[in-house]
Amino acid sequence: MKGFPKYYTLPQKLGLHGLRLSAWLALAFLMIPILVIIPLSFNAEPYFTFTEGMLALDPDAYSLKWYAQILADDKWILAIKNSFYIGILATLIATVLGTTAAVGLSNPVMPLQRIIMAILLSPMIVPLIITAAGMFFFYSQLNMAGSYLGVIIAHAALGTPFVIITVNAALAGFDYSLVRASMGLGARPLYTFIKVVMPLIRPGVISGALFAFITSFDEVVLILFLAGPEQRTIPRQMFSGLREQINPTILAVATLLIISSSLMLFTMEYLRARGERIRSGQL
């Protein structure tokens, strides 16, 4: 939008300048809070603010001690292990169930398609606090509160809608004559699924799995209600840290999470671009 056409009137130019300014302000509003955390996590003092030494770029004002403290604290180590353990198992369940269901749902002969879709997507719409309350009542009747199994099932249920949506999108441009061709050439249904359908929808399945993993990895409301001290995850540990004693270790963890979410974002964008190329037949 550089350089306006000559025939633009002054109010038009002002309007466009104003638009550009407000867009950049909005981007600053989105990014600054996240960027502020990163330098603060190297603070040598146990505060959440920039010290004078930090502003003067004094190397003594910076330290890595909060990062060292994460590794020294058994609670954080357990939380990191739990986050991956629960996240990976919940993702596996969500991806397997979600992908097969999406394949069935995309079939035009599927009965009651709309209603079933609404039911399967409902975990995404109901507020987490309500889901948490319901699961808490239900699990305490079954004596499953405070168990890994309970938390994993709960997170898997939250993750499935994302898998259904992404796999459905990947299947939207799917050419069913490929399946017929494969079967016509004598391949069995399972073989066809693995060798013909799967490679084409793989980007959708992987991005669905990533969504499901992020959902579990970032989830804290269900953990607050359903998990015991044994199942504390990273966000749960951050939550109690922010409530009880605010300490820059949380900022160090936050910085690590920002780095991992950046990696995740780039993976996701790569997959999306790849999926588009597959659909347009360039690969």
CB of 21 to another protein, least distance (A): 9
* CA distances in angstroms from 189 to 4, 194, 211, listed in the order given: 60, 9, 28
First to last CA, the chain: 34
CB of 161 to another protein, least distance (A): 9
User: In the complex with another protein, which residue's Cβ is closer, 159 or 203?
Assistant: 159
Cα 270 from Cα 274, distance rounded (Å): 6
Among residue numbers 164 through 183, which ones bind another protein (CB under 8 A)?
164
> At residue 220, what are phi and psi to the nearest 5 degrees?
-135, -25
Among residue numbers 103 through 142, which ones bind another protein (CB under 8 A)?
103-105, 107, 109-111, 116, 119-120, 122-123, 125-139, 141
- Residue 50 within binding range of another protein, rule CB under 8 A: yes
User: In the complex with another protein, which residue's Cβ is closer, 209 or 254?
Assistant: 254
DSSP tag of 229: G
- Residue 49 within binding range of another protein, rule CB under 8 A: yes
For the purposes of burial, counting CB atoms within 10 Å of the CB of 52, is it exposed (0-12), middle (13-18) or buried (19 or more)?
exposed
Binding mask 192-231 for another protein (x = CB under 8 A): ----------------------x--xx-xx--xx------
Cα 234 from Cα 213, distance rounded (Å): 14
- Nearest by Cα to 251 from 37, 17, 44: 37
Cα 248 from Cα 251, distance rounded (Å): 5
- Residue 33 within binding range of another protein, rule CB under 8 A: yes
- Residue 61 within binding range of another protein, rule CB under 8 A: no
CB of 269 to another protein, least distance (A): 8
Q: How many residues bind another protein (CB under 8 A)?
A: 85
What is the SS3 assignment for 43? strand
CB of 60 to another protein, least distance (A): 20
User: In the complex with another protein, which residue's Cβ is closer, 223 or 278?
Assistant: 223
CB of 5 to another protein, least distance (A): 11
CB of 156 to another protein, least distance (A): 7
Cα 4 from Cα 31, distance rounded (Å): 28
Choose, by CB under 8 A, the member of 77, 178, 194, 265 that binds another protein: 265
Residue 102 CA to its chain's centroid (Å) = 20
- Residue 80 within binding range of another protein, rule CB under 8 A: no
Which residues is 39 bridged to in the sheet?
Answer: none
